[in-house]
Every structure is written in structure tokens, then in C-alpha cells.
Structure 1
Amino acid sequence: MLRAGALALDLQDQRAWLASHPVDLGPKPFALLVALMQSPQRLVTKEELIETVWEGRFVSEAVLTTAMRDLRRAIGDDARQPTYIATAHGRGYRFMLAVTEQAPAEAFVNTAAPASPKPAQSRPHFGFAAAFVAMVLAAAGALWGVTQIAPSASATRARIPASIAVLPFEDLSPARDRAYFADGLSEEILNVLMGVDGLSVASRTSSFAYKDRDDLTTPAIARELGVRNVLEGTVRTDRDRVRVHVRLIEAQSGHTEWTRTYERRLSVQNLLAIQDEIASRVVNEMRGALHDELGPQNTEVRSAAAGTENLQAYELYLRARELFVARSDLARSVALAEQAVAADPRFARGWELFAAASFAKHGRPTVEAQEAVATALRLDPNLSLAHAINGVMSNYEAPYNWNGSTGELERAVTLDPTNTTALLWLAIEMHKLGYLERSQTLLERCVALDSAYDRCREHLMWVLHMRGQTDRAIAEYRTLVNHQAPPDDAILLLAFIERGDEASVQQVLQSLAHEQPMPAPVLAALRDPHADRIAARRALRTWLRASDFNKRKLFPVTLALGAYDMVYTGQGSFFPLWIPEAPEYRQSGAFKNFVREMRIDQYWREHGFPPQCRPVGDADFSCA
């Protein structure tokens, strides 16, 4: 029996314990731990470990990295601040603690050694007051040496709602060239689970941010995502076979609640069957939590649907989707989507992706995108994203069609209430039309579904400020900065100036133009209403002509200086109509011209005016 701190290893029985609790280790992670503990406090090279653990067989370093990640997750060791295993980058690993040999009975005496890591715990969801009280108590304990009693696992678990994160599955194919395949499989399972009533599922954006993060244990990832369970897995495709291994992990303890390996002939039908089986088993394992906390309800799992039985078309689709989501090579994404629908012309989701990638690549509607989305909807009228794309493209250029865009986007959200892209696009249309409360509701739903979707959060910031909720808008701004996604617009610039928040003023100015800073007369006029506004407008015009950034992002400054003629019409994600610091603009002829050129007033007369506007006779209107 080997012992190091709270970690004990029974070589004869091939078992491991941490603080007297059994640790679930696979054969290779166990052999890896044995090799490291038998050579404590010295560097063990990667070559030595591969020779020892894999008995001289040729394996790639990626296989070693995977086994090490599984080992660290199982024993709760953080690669960035390790207790047991340190990484010597590019060389190997070192077991950090001294190791003693003991008889089995002795190994469990005094296991709570100071060097042992704290047991992994899921992150509870506290309200602000509870969190503050907890912080005060923790501080008191540190000052006065109070011994804290950790909550039981069941109590900690009870505070976390029925929730799960599906981490991107790892590609174990021989050439490691099918990551798109592994990602696609895990994403489809995630989408199926999102359709289960009462089950909270971490968004793709949030879960996939942990791809290739072997520096974090599964409990650590779960704490950051605030989920009760984590599903992780590996996918290996070789010739005409596919092998999928999955584990459902209870995050608080790191215990594997269920594990299963599926090996089938490689076909679309078998992939869908595997996805459905995994999703159904996950829900069955969590069914107790769902019923205990929420009462009996519908926990049925909807079936996955590829939309094609052609394996070549499906693989091309997955490769195109991976590039589209990452926005890394849109031209290649378009080409692959086009090949997918050529392989199966009745593949509706392939046509939907073809339209989306083409629209994103060109930044405007194209005949190619319009024909593709029309084909997708003809083949399957219930494709949510296809309706959303169709709606945005129908209103992108004059003559503007607000009925068409809002109708299609409403249809998209009805078909899939979890489609955050459709929620965002519909919220943008509502904001532009002046229905700010509806826009806020949609954006709050979007952020609740995907807290890592920074575009939704940025638009929520805009709308909150437009509705006079500037404190909340600033809070969203701070969150975006923490996400390393600071907004590059001036929507809050005047609010920061008014509050004397100079650090935020400088942050906004830096985000607007790195190489072409705001001219001094412009900034002076924003700070002082008595400054020379004529000189400021002259400097603003010169600056905008010489700068290559998006002029729409500067509309709040343009309106604050009274340069209404510089506010141009045309579609975009931001309209200047409802900026709270510019009530005079809404009384101007420029405002009415903008509204009429965009045909917004026609929509108002058909669907009702927003609260801040009212009709004046049969042809005029007024807005506050």
C-alpha cells in the first residue's frame, strides 16, 4: 500500500482512496498514478510513462494527456495549483509529495493530512444576502480560528437544481482529425437534453469553452458552470466503426454515476440511436432529482434528428458547422455545406447551414443564401434557424419589410424557444422599432439560456440604458469587460462622464479607436455643455471621415453634439432613435425622416405605437 497525504493506493487490490473515500479510476489512470507514486518527487518523463503504462506500445502524447486529465479529475488535483502532480511542460510529470509504504490497515489512519486537497464541492446558488453572510462567517472563521463544519454532500447537492453540462467529447480517432465529429455528437446530445422539461442545461457556448482545458478537474468545471452533473466522453471512428464512451459524473464528489461504451457500425442511423440512448439514460439517472425537486412532470426525451441518412452528407455538415460556429473560415464552411447538400439534395439542415454560412460570409443577403433558405424551408417548414435567417434577410435592404422580419423571427422563437440566435435577432428588431420592454424581455431570456453569449448581453446593456435602467446597464458592461469582451461603442460614454467615472471613460475611448483617438474638441464638448460645439462638430466630421471604425457606434456622441445630419439611415444592429441623452433629437425633423425612410411608422400604425410615441392625425406622429 502506497500512501501520500490523504491519497492511498492498494497495489494488490488495484484500488485508490482519497481521505478514506474510494476513487473511481480507470486502468490507465491507475497505472499512471502507480508509476508516479513509485518515483516520488522526481521528474518522470513522458517517454518513461508511456513505456511503463502502455508497455512499450506506440501511443501519441495525446493519449498520455487524456489519461493524466482523467487522473487529475478523479483525485481533484488542479494542474495550475497542484497538490499531487506537477507538470514539467514538454518533459513529463512529477509526484510532489513524499510516499510511504504501509500495510493496508495503516493506510486509513490519519488520512486528513494537511497536504491533502479539499474535497471538490459543487457551487451553490446563493442570493446576495446569503452570499454576504457566508463571506462574513468565513472571514470570522479565519480571524478567530473557528472550525467550520462542511455541509453534507446531500445538503450541498440539494441546493443545486437539476442541471447538467455536456462537455465537448474528445476525439480519439487514429489521426485525431475528427474533432468536428466528436463535437457534433456532444452538441446533438446537448440539444436533445435542452428539450427536457425541468432540466437546466449549460449552453454550448459555456460548455465548449472548456474544450482542451486539462488544467481543470470536472468538479472545478461544474462549480464554474453551476451544474449538478457533467457528461463527458470520447469518440473514436476507425474505418466503418464508431466507438463512443461516456461518463455521467456527480460534480460535488466527482463520483461516476453511470458509464457506458457504445460500439456500432458507423452510420447516421446508429449515431442517432447512440445520441438518443445516451440522452435517455442521462435523464433516467437524473429522474429522481427532477421529481424530488420539481414534482412529477414530463421528462421525456425528444429524438435527435440528423435530417439525412447519407453519412458523407452528415460528416460534411458537421465539418461546415464547426467552422461556422467558430467563424474561423466561412468560405470553407460555405463550400463544405454546399458539398453536403450536393451529396443529399433533400438534407434540409444542410440547406439551412448553407444559407447561414453564406449570409455570414458576405455580411448581406445573397441570391445563394436566399435560395438555400427557401429550399430548407420547403423541405422542412419547422426549422427554427432557417426562419430566423429568412426574417433577417427579408428586412436587410430597402424596401424594408418589418412585418416579414418580425413574423419570421416570432415563428423561429415559437418553434424553438431555446434558439438564442433567434431571440437576439428578434430583440434587435424590437429595439429598433421602439418596443424596448419586449426587447429587454427577449434579451434577458437569451442571457438566462446562455450567460456566455456576449452579443445578447451587449444588446441588453443598450436596451437597459435606453429604458433608464443605467445602473443595470453598467453592471452588464462590467460583466462584458470581465468576459474580455468590452463593448466598442459609446452608448454609456455620457453616463460615465456624468458620474465622474474617468477610468470607464478612458476604457470606452480606447475601445472606440486605438490608433485614431477622439479629438480633444469633441471630448471637451461632451464634458462641458458650454464648450465650442461648432468646433466640436467640425472636428467630429473630420475624425469620422478619416476613421475606419463603425460610425454607428458613435451615434450617441453625434446626437449629443447636435450633428443630426450625420445620422444616416440603413439597417444595422443599432438605431439611434431611443438614446436617452438625446430627447431633442426625437423632436427634430431628422428623427421623423429616419423613421419614415425606414418605414417604421407604417409598422406602428398596423401593430400599435410604442409607449413613448403616439399618432398625430393620419400621417404624423410624435415621440418623447
Structure 2
Amino acid sequence: MRYRVNDFEIDTNAYSIKHRDMPIAVEPKVFDVIVYLIVNRDRVVTRQAFFDAIWTGLAVSDATLSNHIKFARTALHDDGQRQAVIKTIHGRGYQFVAPVTEIPDPPTNNPVLPEQTAPGGSQANSVHSRFNRFVFAAITLLTLAVLMLFIWQINGGITPSESESSESGVSTAADKSIAILPFTYASDTAEDAFFSDGMHSALLAQIAAYPALKTIAKGSVAHYDPATADVKAVGTTLSVATVLLGEVKRAGQQIRVDVQLIDTANARQLWAGTYTRALTAENIFIIQQAISLDIAKALNLALTAKQNSQHQHFPTQNLAALGYYFQGKSLANQGTTQDNTKAIEYLEQAIKADPSFALAYAELARLELNQIHWAGKPVEQQVRIASPLIERALALQPTLGEAFVALGVLHVFKQRFGDAETAFTQALDIIPGNVTALSEYGNLLLWKLRRIEQAEAVFAKAVAISPLDPLLKTQWVSALIDAGRFVQARMIIDTLIEQNPTFAPAYRSRSDYYYWLGHALPASQVALSQNLQYSPEAPFNSMIMAQVYILTGDTQKAVDWLAHSLSLAPGSDNMLLANAMIAHLTGKHGKALDMFLQLPANQHVFPVYMFDLVEVGQGLGRARDVENHYRQFFPSLFQDAVNVDASNFIPAVAVARLMINRGEYARGHALLDKCLTVVTTAPFGGWSTKESDWKTRIYLAKGEIELAARSFADYVAAGHGADSIVSSPTYAPLKDHPVFQRALSDMQNTLKNARQWLRKLEDSGEIMLPGSLNPHSQ
């Protein structure tokens, strides 16, 4: 059955919702709530009725239902104030009040089974459940593990008597998942604490190399206190069948590690082991590898020859170097600028203690590159520092996955995106469950290659491995927003803020959500102010605050925020960009052009400004300088056979304009046609590239005035606009077109309204100004 509600179509067979033929992403339970309300729209549905029909047999709180109602309203463009679709009947329940049109399914020769009715009801749930159980059983039968190929005695002399297993181990595919909780340490010394944390991280890295075993990453397991964790709850939250608990104790020249593998379904111990050795670096890795193989044995994992070979390599045999490495890794995991800097010092000591410690070189290189963002250090300087470290790591260990991760990050900063992708895929081939590799690869796909759907899939995979990592979820949200999946993005954002109200990146995600969904600039600035309240030292966020004021035409506030970003990181590469933007906004166009032309390619973070260089350069008689800039950074765009895609179409439009301006009409128009193909093929550069009205700009460059006017009207109707359009020479050919004039008037009214709201919110303290303090923080 299909139902039409306003401009929405709900298809219970396809389990989908479309708005004007565009799919709307919703969680399965939210879909069930919507359909159940529609099916029972002739009555008030009580909370208990929802629990019985949607969450049969499960203990669910009222808050869970309230959240699902909220998300259902959001999906259907309703809210708790209007209640035009779903009405709250206080004290009783909810009722679907919007008009519903039933659209019968087309006739079919196949009989309809009785269970295929009412997706919101218990019969549909039972069909869905039985289907899932069928698939589950099929997968289980196809993926039964073979017996272990190794002899236990290869592990440094650790004998079978050192571990004990229950009679029936874990054997099904569904059970091959594990959360290794942080190890406890048996003393209160800080040295034991970092040593325990280091061994835990090393074991996680080892186990994550088993592709047949789903291993939850450190960013999620670190949330648990192993002394108080409920293993059943851990299993439910992280979707794992087993949990490993461990304790590390150093006593004199001995180290002892106790571990136990627990079945999360019944809290039954599957296996336990005790490993005691003389305290040497080699023995630490022998213990780690022995635990890894014991886990593989208990879970009936069949290891490949490549995975076997990884067990034969010891990263270092220098105990002091290993201690420094563990301390550096422990600090790096804290995720702050200060800790990142201190971690670098420890890793430098690790390399000094053991110049052949490849893993330390790789980690040091990655942290040095992190300093570009963490500490605002210049890209060229950090690339120069990291390059020899990565070369050394790969020379020492050519198959080191962590070194390929660092190499990928290095290539990103060097603008070698193809090489970066190759490095990340090599890393994931070696360490497939490494969340850092997945995260960095996802960011490459999203921000540089602009392959939005692929980026979203990579982040979704990473979140499945580390479901409690909030920063990873904000990266996933960025991909969802760029793909236009706003409902799913909003659900994640709201949950993040509910779980941690002081987590600054979640407010940046909320700001992006409001900004791109409908260009709700005041709401976006409120959320970004909350981000700055909890993370006031992030210079780039101050530049984003400036961007909104640029759009609304409040030049002075934009300049103030740019100046504030400069005060936060005066030596960063962003300094030149911020100064160039200030000069451009204050009418010093020659100075602005000089600065823009000095920017390295990695600083083209606001591409519309680089596009505007063509206009500025021509006005100043410096078109040749602009062309040389593009030839330096985008030489392929001057070749007839160039491939134009979402990653380079913006400079391609600029280069095409340069060609046309110097009389190369055929080449310029051919390049513009390629650009037009990109921007008219969803999702092209992602939802965020709609802001700059690229389709209209391309039509104008091609001289197609009628199409440009219609395109601009669509741009304004979607809620977008920029004050600079009013006086822009680019739009001058449209100034007398009636369609453009009407749309321009609508845009100006929208921006005027936004300015008024921004001032009200500034006066109330909900939007920060440079140097101010949000009153909510007091």
C-alpha cells in the first residue's frame, strides 16, 4: 500500500518515504511509527499501543517514543508547535491529522500473503523479523570458521596450560564480534596506567587486522570503566557478541596480564588466560600476540598467511622505546592540542631510544601533520617534517599499515589526491578495521574528491566499528548533510548533544545542518556560537562566523570575526587567507589579489573567492596573473582532454571564463559544458555547493541569459542568497530580466529578515560577537 500525505508518498512495500519524488531517509522504527499512525488515523493511538505494536516484548521508555514522534514529524516537515500532521492529544496519545490518500498497489499475478500488511503493526514486524532470522541463519551457515592452522607453541613458549576455555566456544558468524574494554592496572602509579593503556591499544590494533572479526575501536570502548561495565549492556550498545576484560600488573622485572572472554548474551565466561613473563619489550609483544591467537582460537577464526606473518614481527625490542611510545599514544588519544604536542615529544624519545622503531616513526609523522589543524602550524613546514619520518617507517617495515595512513594524509596536504587514495586503500588492505584509516579516507572522499555517496559509506563503516566515537559521528553527519540526508543527520546531531551537551563539534554539525537545509542563517549562527562557547580557540570556526555576515552584507562584523581568527592563530596558513578576505571586503582589491595569488592550493577552502579572482583580475588589468595562478595549481584544466568532476569544476569554470575573455570561445565553451554536466548530475559537489549558484554562473559565462535567470530563481526559491550578488558584475547581464528582478527582490527581503534576526539574537546574547562571552556559559 502507498499513502499520499501532502507532497509525501509513503510506500509500505518499498519501506520508503519520498517528498516530491526525492527519497527521505528515516530510521526503520520511525517509519513504523508513521505507518502505524496512518493506518490508525481514525483514532488516538495511546503510548501503550505504540509499545505493543512497534516495540513488542521490549522495555522502552516514554522518552524513546517522544523522540521517534519528533523524528517522524521532522521527516514529514511537521513540528511540535504546528502539529499539522501528527497531533499530540495530551494525556492520551497521538493522532495522525493530515489528509491521507490511499494509492492501491498495481495488480499482480502473485498472491499477497496475509502477513504482508500494516508495516507498523505486529504482523509486519513478525514478517520482517522472520526474514531477518532467515538471512541471519543463511549467513551463519555460509561463514562457519575452519580450525586454527597454528600450533600454540610458536608464541614465545607460552603453553596451553596458561589459558582455560569453556567446552563450547563461539562459532557462528554473528558471534565473531568483540569489544576489548580498557585494561585495568593493579597499582596507582601513572607509569602502570600508560603501560596498561598502551598494551590495550596495541592489542586492539592487532585484533583489528582480522577482517573476519568485527572489533570495536578504541574511541568507543574507551567510554567504559571495566570495573563497573555490564557486559550484557555493552553487547547491546556496541552490537557485539563477546567482551574481553583484562588487567595488567607490573611487579619488579615481571609483567602479568590476566584476560577473560565473556559471552554478552548470558555473561558466561568463554575463555580465560594468565600470561606472566619477564619484563622485556619482546615478551610484551609475545603476550599480546598470544592473546590475539587465543581470541582467534576461541572464536574459531581462520587466519590467512598474511595475518600469520604479522604475528612474527616485533615493532621494537627496546623497553625504554616501547614505554615512550605507549606514553605518546596514550596522550595522543586524549584529543587536545596540548596532549598532541606532548605526545610528539614522547615519540621523539622513542625513536631516539630505538632508531629502528618503524611504528613510532609512522605515529610521529601523523601527529606532526595533525599539528596543522591542532596548532595552526604551516602546511609546508609540517609536510617537510613528516616526509622523512614516513620514508623511514616504510623503509624499516614496507607493509606497515599505520605508515600508509600517514602517507595518505601527507599526500592530501600535498594535493596529490590520487596518491592519497592509493595509500589509504593500501592501509585498509593491511589493517581493515583501523578507524583512523577509514576516517582519513572518508575525509579525502568528502572534502577533496567530492565523492559524497562513497564518503558516506566509508564513515558509516567506521561508525559501525566505533559506534560511541562522537567526533567520528560528526564526520559522518557532514557526509549525510552533503548528500541531502537531513533527517538522519538531525537524529545523530540531537543524540550527540543530548548525550554530551558540551561537545563542541556537535554544535558545529548543527550549524551546518541549519545552514544547508534551508539557509537558516540565524539558527546556524546560534549553533555556531554554542560551538565557540565550548571551543573558543578554533580559528576556522571564527572564519565560518564571518562567512554568514558576508552573505548578509554586514561587512564590519565579517571583518571583526576574520580579525578574531587571526588573533587565535597568527602564524597559521589561514592567516594569509583571512587577510586576503579582509582586504577584499574593505575594497582593497589590488592587495586582496596579491594575497590570493600567494595562497597554496590547500588553502582554497572558500573556492568562490578563487573564482572571483577572474573578475577582480580583469578589473585591475591583471588577468594574466590570475591565469598563471591557475596554470600553476590546475595545469590539467588547460588541456582539451581534461576530465572535469566535482573536485575541480569550480576552478574549471574560472579557467573557461579566462579562455573566453581572450577569444578562445570553442575551448572555453567546451570546458563550460563539462562543468554544466557536473553541476546538473546529483549530487555533483554535494548539497553545500548549491550555495554559490554555480549553475547560474555557468549559464552566464555561456551567454544563456534565459536559462541563467530561471536558474537564479530556483536558487533563491531554495532559500539561498548573498548580498554580493546585488552589485556583482557576473550577474550584470541579468539586471533587466523580470524573472531575475523578482527573485533578486525576494532574496533581498530574505537577507533583510536574516539581518534583523541576527541583531536580535546578538542583543540577547544567543549569538556571540568577537571577544564576547555567551551568557549561557556563566
Q: Kindly provide the amino acid, as one letter, of the partner of residue 413 in structure 2.
A: Y
CA contact (8 A) 1:351 1:372 kept: yes
Distance 1:519 1:446 in 2: 27
Structure 2 equivalent of residue 170 of structure 1: 184
Distance 1:523 1:453 in 2: 29
CA contact (8 A) 2:359 2:393 kept: yes
- Displacement of 1:196 in angstroms is 2.5
Distance 1:345 1:518 in 2: 42
Distance 1:376 1:159 in 2: 36
1:372 to 383, 389, 413: 389
Local SS of the residue matching 1:610: coil
Matched, 1:422 2:437: yes
Matched, 1:610 2:628: no
1:333 to 329, 335, 343: 343
Q: Kindly provide the amino acid, as one letter, of the partner of residue 645 in structure 2.
A: P
Matched, 1:599 2:619: no
- CA deviation vs aligned residue, 1:383-402 (integer Å, no higher than 9, x gap): 233233234335536xx544
Q: Kindly provide the amino acid, as one letter, of the partner of residue 268 in structure 2.
A: H
Note closer, same or farther for the CA distance 1:379–1:521 as it changes in structure 2 (3 Å cut).
closer
CA contact (8 A) 1:234 1:244 kept: yes
1:188 to 188, 193, 202: 202
Distance 1:519 1:416 in 2: 36
TM-score by length of 1: 0.61
Distance 1:601 1:473 in 2: 37
Note closer, same or farther for the CA distance 1:595–1:415 as it changes in structure 2 (3 Å cut).
farther
1:408 to 396, 412, 423: 423
Q: Kindly provide the amino acid, as one letter, of the partner of residue 223 in structure 1.
A: T
Which sits farther off after the overlay, 236-245 or 403-412? 403-412
Note closer, same or farther for the CA distance 1:329–1:611 as it changes in structure 2 (3 Å cut).
closer
Structure 2 equivalent of residue 486 of structure 1: 506
Note closer, same or farther for the CA distance 1:193–1:419 as it changes in structure 2 (3 Å cut).
closer
Structure 2 equivalent of residue 439 of structure 1: 455
**Alignment map for 1:491-570 (pairs within 5 Å):** 491-495=512-516, 506-512=526-532, 533-534=552-553, 536-547=554-565, 570=600
CA contact (8 A) 2:604 2:610 kept: no
CA contact (8 A) 2:428 2:437 kept: yes
- Displacement of 1:193 in angstroms is 2.1
- Displacement of 1:127 in angstroms is 5.4
Matched, 1:255 2:268: yes
1:217 to 230, 239, 260: 230
Distance 2:418 2:205 in 1: 30
Structure 1 equivalent of residue 493 of structure 2: 477
Local SS of the residue matching 1:486: helix
- Displacement of 1:456 in angstroms is 3.9
Matched, 1:272 2:285: yes
- Displacement of 1:128 in angstroms is 3.1
Gaps of 5+ in 2: 1-26, 37-44, 60-132, 137-169, 618-625, 657-665, 680-778
1:351 to 358, 361, 368: 361
Structure 2 equivalent of residue 31 of structure 1: none
CA contact (8 A) 2:180 2:244 kept: yes
CA contact (8 A) 1:457 1:476 kept: yes
Distance 1:350 1:520 in 2: 38
Note closer, same or farther for the CA distance 1:180–1:200 as it changes in structure 2 (3 Å cut).
same
- Displacement of 1:377 in angstroms is 1.6
Gaps of 5+ in 1: 1-125, 291-295, 527-532
Local SS of the residue matching 1:329: helix
- Displacement of 1:351 in angstroms is 1.6
Q: Kindly provide the amino acid, as one letter, of the partner of residue 371 in structure 1.
A: P
Matched, 1:307 2:325: no
Structure 2 equivalent of residue 80 of structure 1: none
Provide the alpha-carbon RMSD of the alignment: 5.0
**Alignment map for 1:24-103 (pairs within 5 Å):** none
Note closer, same or farther for the CA distance 1:331–1:263 as it changes in structure 2 (3 Å cut).
same
Distance 2:487 2:406 in 1: 33
Q: Kindly provide the amino acid, as one letter, of the partner of residue 178 in structure 1.
A: D
Distance 1:298 1:586 in 2: 55
Local SS of the residue matching 1:307: coil
Distance 1:147 1:190 in 2: 37
Local SS of the residue matching 1:326: coil
Distance 2:471 2:411 in 1: 22
- CA deviation vs aligned residue, 1:579-604 (integer Å, no higher than 9, x gap): xxx89979985899899378356389
Distance 2:634 2:250 in 1: 53
- Displacement of 1:227 in angstroms is 1.4
- CA deviation vs aligned residue, 1:419-459 (integer Å, no higher than 9, x gap): 33233333333322433344333333333332344444333
Q: Kindly provide the amino acid, as one letter, of the partner of residue 324 in structure 2.
A: L
Distance 1:410 1:590 in 2: 41
CA contact (8 A) 2:394 2:403 kept: yes
Distance 2:295 2:631 in 1: 53
CA contact (8 A) 2:183 2:245 kept: yes
Structure 2 equivalent of residue 387 of structure 1: 404
Which structure features the higher share of helix residues? 2
Distance 2:545 2:417 in 1: 40
Matched, 1:317 2:325: yes
Note closer, same or farther for the CA distance 1:265–1:159 as it changes in structure 2 (3 Å cut).
closer
Q: Kindly provide the amino acid, as one letter, of the partner of residue 252 in structure 1.
A: A
Identical aligned pairs, as a percentage? Answer: 20
Aligned residues: 469
Distance 1:322 1:604 in 2: 48
Note closer, same or farther for the CA distance 1:189–1:525 as it changes in structure 2 (3 Å cut).
closer
- Displacement of 1:498 in angstroms is 5.1
- CA deviation vs aligned residue, 1:25-44 (integer Å, no higher than 9, x gap): xxxxxxxxxxxxxxxxxxxx
Note closer, same or farther for the CA distance 1:315–1:147 as it changes in structure 2 (3 Å cut).
closer
- CA deviation vs aligned residue, 1:350-406 (integer Å, no higher than 9, x gap): 222232333334644164433222211221222233233234335536xx5445544
Matched, 1:207 2:235: no
Q: Kindly provide the amino acid, as one letter, of the partner of residue 544 in structure 1.
A: L
Distance 2:438 2:544 in 1: 38
Which sits farther off after the overlay, 362-371 or 176-185? 362-371
Distance 1:167 1:594 in 2: 55
Distance 1:311 1:412 in 2: 27
Structure 2 equivalent of residue 128 of structure 1: 29
Q: Kindly provide the amino acid, as one letter, of the partner of residue 602 in structure 1.
A: S
Local SS of the residue matching 1:309: coil
Distance 1:396 1:480 in 2: 30
- CA deviation vs aligned residue, 1:75-99 (integer Å, no higher than 9, x gap): xxxxxxxxxxxxxxxxxxxxxxxxx
Distance 1:378 1:518 in 2: 41
Matched, 1:458 2:497: no
Distance 2:305 2:266 in 1: 25
CA contact (8 A) 2:255 2:279 kept: yes
Distance 1:519 1:148 in 2: 47
TM-score by length of 2: 0.50
